[in-house]
Chains A and B, each alone.
Chain A
């Protein structure tokens, strides 16, 4: 490896963590809001998902064609899951949980679309045309998702059980459990947030290290596990835990 390396691996990791590198700043009402690349990638994912939703849900037919069939079986799977876990309120929470699930799948799998760069190893220095980093490696994204989930848990519990039932739920099974039940509102979102963030960031760093050591042949194989499998599993686990939390809040 005599080729001039533009960036050492530790630099790449530091840049990949990239929570503070603002791309541009919005000045609004005297406030300056830095917009990082994570936010832009999230916007792009949101736009793609919205357009896909609009395109896929147009012109439904009585006898479904292929895209509609896929969509129907996917929605049916999520519907069964929500009904199985939450019960007859499942339909109420299906849109919320499904949105989180689909967003996480898109966010975790988007990095696989990054085109292959020849890297610095064949004498040249061909960087890929664009690099998609996983947005969920940024703790701000996962924290936002976790806060959304715990606020939903709180208000759904309050609405479904009523204020009296909610207070009764806080002291169940015994009044001794009151501090622990209150603490759960801080611990649940924290563990949700850190689990997703740590898994995705860890896989991302490991992939960077592998690419540094063995630039060809091996990264795609390892990427199957670290990008595809881990991303999918973490999306499932996040949606699953959100469902469980909501289910036990409104039972």
Chain B
């Protein structure tokens, strides 16, 4: 196996970080819906912290993507 094939396999493994975001964001979304259903008047504040939370949860997936791209395109 030459270096480039190994890098491609590594890129595939790096993208598995998407799993974390895939589990995390639905969890946050469900809890947000629950919270808004319980207290509709606080929906503004809840949405704020929800956006912050998914932005942070998503970051890991994005780092995986960036690592994968680096592995593919850096020569």
Contact = CB atoms under 8 A, between A and B. Distances in A.
Contact of B65 (A84, A202, A237, A241): A202
B66 interface: yes
Q: How large is the interface on B (under 10, 10 to 19, 20 to 34, 35 or more residues)?
A: 10 to 19
B46 interface: no
Interface in B44-75: 44, 48, 51-52, 55, 58-59, 61-63, 65-66, 69, 73
Given A17-B73, A201-B69, A195 B59 contact: yes
A140 B73 CA distance: 16
Contacts, number: 36
A205 B13 CA distance: 18
A68 interface: no
Interface in A146-201: 191, 194-195, 197-199, 201
A125 to B, nearest CB: 27
A194 B52 contact: no
A204 to B, nearest CB: 12
A201 B58 CA distance: 14
A191 B59 contact: yes
Interface of A: 14, 17, 84-85, 191, 194-195, 197-199, 201-202, 236-237, 240-241, 244
5 contacts: A197-B66, A198-B66, A199-B58, A202-B65, A240-B48
